[in-house]
Amino acid sequence: MKITFAAAMPASPPRLQVRLAAQGALPAGVSDLVAQGAAAARFTGKTAQLFESFVEGDGALVRLVLAGTGESKAEGRGDALERAGAAIAAKFLTSGEKSVLLDLDGAGLNAEECARLLMGLRLRAWRHDAYRTRLKEEQKRSLDDALVLNAPDGAEAAWQVEQAVAEGVEFTRELVAEPANVIYPESFVERCARRFEGSGAELVVLDEAQMSDLGMGALLGVAQGSTRAPRLLAIKWMGGKPADKPLALVGKGVTFDTGGISIKPAAGMEDMKWDMGGAGAVAGAMLALARRKAKANVVGICGLVENMPDGNAQRPGDVVTTMSGQTVEVINTDAEGRLVLCDVLTWTQRTFDPARIVDLATLTGAIIISLGHEHAGMFSNDDALSGDLDAAGKAIGEKLWRFPLSAEYDKLINSPIADMKNTGPRYGGSITAAQFLQRFIENGTPWAHLDIAGMVWADKPGATWDKGATGYGVRLLDRFVRTTLEG
């Protein structure tokens, strides 16, 4: 959605016009008739509540909408405004209207609050229609533009920053929503190369031969059953001080996961196109940082493979040697994400010597059993890092819940024939997966692992997303960078 700002009402304004209403207070200038209609419809200005009416404006029909923003002094005001913007998009996306005018006169917003309103509007307006060829006219998206009138001072500049973040979220959604015959390791890299062109970010790509030379036996073991060649993609944004060590963001990018020889049940396997949601989030976050010219040094690394069960596929019981030199007994080929990440983590540390590492992965179904679709799981060896991530998530509504790590859990992945095995017992599956990754963190580097399996895809619409890819993780990482590296 294109969002522009205007200092005065245009000569031919959009027919669809929106005014904001705090709870219990209609905006100034609303006619008695509209006020009576709102009362009759029990509109009170609650967050994301909408009331639609038709009025005359300068001899033309105006489709007037009141959008509730909740209590004006309430905590979480930004979140309420975001939900209000999203409600407008959800209601009128297929309404036949091409443009909407947001008149903020008397709304009492500051620049940041205005940007949150627009963020909700834009994010909820995103929809993946690339393969829909038989939509009826009333099902097609029509709303493409928004015009902001009477915006507070600084709002346009604030939106320029947030617009970059919105672009990052949309890019992540695009990558996650695409089917696996369209997005696979090589095409993931190609799409990133196109999207990052002119951004100032540097992309580095390792192919299968280069990874083999580096000894990435765990990652390559996952990839060996597929005709799709694996790739390692690093995106470098060095916008901070030259002497500062970078923050490393690491993403699991299994572009399709059959489970390999330990094959998954057929029912629901189509969902495994989004098993690259961690890599998608890292790519989107890096795009956001590059687009808004973040004053920080950040590298995003994506381990990209496809996990398939052909005659060359890795077998349960195989032993692989990781880039770190540690060996892994592969008990279950469907516990493949950690095999990808362990080599990527080693390469990241030895290449960039990062100050901190945050990895994101759709790693375990067990995390969904624990947390449902309300929180991502967080595991960390550093209290300060986990606290910073938790605060960032709360600030923008991408919530985390920290889980324990300990020697008692770690011993559950000891192997009788190798340094470790890639799965533990049935219970505590998300924790033992994190314990596995922790064995590849070197020199006490502060590290956090985010298990986002329950968050990257939604079976029903949410506040700022339609059914499908959510874009989870981009805003969390962007806010984390702002508060810890730019604040």
In this predicted structure, what is the pLDDT of residue 220? 98
Q: How many CB atoms lie within 10 A of CB 12?
A: 7
Burial track 417-452 (b if 16+ CB lie within 10 A, e otherwise): ebbbbbbbeeebbbbbbbbbbbbbbeeebbbbbbbb
- How far is it, in rounded angstroms, from Cα 11 to Cα 276? 47
pLDDT tens track for 79-135: 999 999 999 999 999 999 999 999 999 999 999 999 999 999 999 999 999 999 999
Chain centre to alpha carbon of residue 207: 26
Contact 82, 67 (CB under 8 A): no
**Could you check whether 2-151 and 163-486 share the same CATH topology?**
no
Q: Is the pLDDT of residue 57 over 90?
A: no
Catalytic one of 338, 356, 475, 479:
338
In this predicted structure, what is the pLDDT of residue 341? 98
Class of domain 2-151 (CATH, top level): alpha beta
Decide: pTM greater than 0.95. yes
Region 206-232: what's the mean pLDDT? 98
Question: CA nearest 325: which of 423, 443, 216?
Answer: 216
Known catalytic membership, residue 228: no
Chain centre to alpha carbon of residue 437: 22
pLDDT tens track for 362-407: 999 999 999 999 999 999 999 999 999 999 999 999 999 999 999 9
Spatial neighbors of 182 by CB under 8 A, at least 6 apart, are none
* CATH for the stretch 163-486: 3.40.630.10
- How far is it, in rounded angstroms, from Cα 94 to Cα 137? 9
Determine the angle formed by the axes of helices 155-177 and 111-125, rounding to 10 degrees. Answer: 30
pLDDT tens track for 290-349: 999 999 999 999 999 999 999 999 999 999 999 999 999 999 999 999 999 999 999 999
Cα torsion for 86, 91, 97, 99, to the nearest 10°?
-10
Q: Please spell the DSSP secondary structure of 169-182, one letter per residue.
A: HHHHHHHHHS-TTT
- How far is it, in rounded angstroms, from Cα 193 to Cα 282? 14
- How far is it, in rounded angstroms, from Cα 468 to Cα 143? 20
Q: What order do you get walking across the sheet with 420-421 strand by strand?
A: 319-321, 327-329, 420-421
Report the DSSP beta bridge partners of residue 102: 18, 148
Report the DSSP beta bridge partners of residue 328: 320, 420
Known catalytic membership, residue 338: yes
Region 437-465: what's the mean pLDDT? 97
Catalytic one of 46, 141, 191, 264:
264
Q: Domain segments of the chain: what residues?
A: 2-151, 163-486
Q: Is the pLDDT of residue 72 over 90?
A: no
Residue with token string 């997005």: 183
